[in-house]
Amino acid sequence: GLDTTFFQEADVADNRLYSIAAMAKILDMPESTLHYWKNRFDDVLPSFGTGRGKRYRAEAVAIFRDIGAMLAQGLSAGDVRSE
């Protein structure tokens, strides 16, 4: 599932914010994929700002990684949402 407790406990001091482009590089995924997921899963992604200035907290990188892993296992976006 989308377990963010580890990141909240271990990384409270990590207050860096990431753009979609930066996360795409970290995750080695196309930006277009992250934009699509961002729109589908916006309510579970910790972010600040709006539009082009939107930035994501470090744990969003882990959430995107989890989303990718679950979709790769054949789960639908609806299944991923319920995890």
Task: Give pLDDT tens digits for 43-75.
Answer: 889 899 888 889 999 889 999 999 999 999 999
Query: At 9, is the pLDDT very low, low, confident or very high (cuts 50, 70, 90)?
Result: very low
Query: What gap in Å lies between CA 30 and CA 72, rounded to an integer?
Result: 15
Residues 6+ apart with CB under 8 A from 79: 70
Q: What is the pLDDT of residue 13?
A: 53
For residues 63 and 4, is the Cβ–Cβ distance under 8 A?
A: yes
What's this model's pTM, rounded to 2 decimal places? 0.75
Q: Are strands 47-48 and 55-57 parallel, antiparallel or unpaired?
A: antiparallel
